[in-house]
Amino acid sequence: MKNYPQLILQSPLNILYNMSLPKGFAELSSLSEVKGQKRVNGWMGSRTYINGGVSPTPADSLVFEALSTKTGNDSSNPHLCRWYQHMLSFSAAQRAAWGEAVVAAAPAAPKAKKAAAKPVADEEDDLDDMFGSDSDDEDAEAAKQAVIDRIAAAHNAKKEASRIAKGKAKRRDINSYVFDIKPYGTETDLQAMALAFKKIEHGGIKAWGVEHKLIEIAFGIKKLRIQVITYGDDGEGNEFGEDDLFDMFNGLHEDDIQSIDTHSFTKM
């Protein structure tokens, strides 16, 4: 059977897929070029998935299929490589299902929802909840991520057992954390805080996310969202993880940090 790439690129399926890519993401046609690959690497520096959420979307399936194996395994783009290896932990059927979801949803017009009456809260309650937990939507996303993490963990455990059976050395675990760090007030310089954290060098830290975000909370106060990719140990046989990172953060900015929340956690 002959291939007709021009026809395929213009198909409704590909048009729908391209609509699933986030605004500002590199053109798919540029992924075969170094410039495009560097751009995607920078994009993934502060994200676990292409759309920035806590679970994979059709965009992840689309970009994965557009990349060559050589490009995906190129360690000179560590964030792109890390994302590519994570995509390999999903089966072809799982990745295909993400794409099927957007195609199935395309014909249906969005239905208007009747807004539920929002209870009026006292001003004092607003102040009390200023540094409270995230919305129920984020709780639902966290629950989805937990399912994905369990699937990925089972897959990685199977691969590791195979490596050991072949006499290969045990691979160091690699984990991705995204933290939300909340200050006491508006006077805290979160940009300077982020740069100070990224200067931390430790045997348990593989890399820091290239990008970080300042997210509005309330009354002009923002929180810092930052990613760090770690090993499961410190290089000397000791476990390394969330608590150790918390100690490092507080050690540098204990007087400025009101709380630290784990926005997402992914085993690579």
Report the CATH number at residue 88: 1.20.1050
Residues of the chain with pLDDT under 50: 1-17, 101-115, 117-118, 120-133
Task: Answer yes or no: is 89 within a domain.
Answer: yes
How many domains is the chain partitioned into structurally? 2
Task: Answer yes or no: is 257 within a domain.
Answer: yes
Of the residues 74, 103, 132, the one at which a domain ends = 103
Of the residues 103, 132, 158, the one at which a domain ends = 103
Query: Can you give the CATH number for the domain in which 263 is found?
Result: 3.30.70.60
pLDDT score for 136: 63
Token pair of 4 as six digits: 């007709």
Containing structural domain, residue 261: 168-268
pTM for the predicted model, two decimal places: 0.42
pLDDT score for 22: 83
pLDDT score for 132: 47
Task: Answer yes or no: is 29 within a domain.
Answer: yes
Task: Answer yes or no: is 152 within a domain.
Answer: no
Of the residues 103, 130, 160, the one at which a domain ends = 103
Q: Are residues 172 and 99 part of one domain?
A: no
pLDDT score for 262: 92
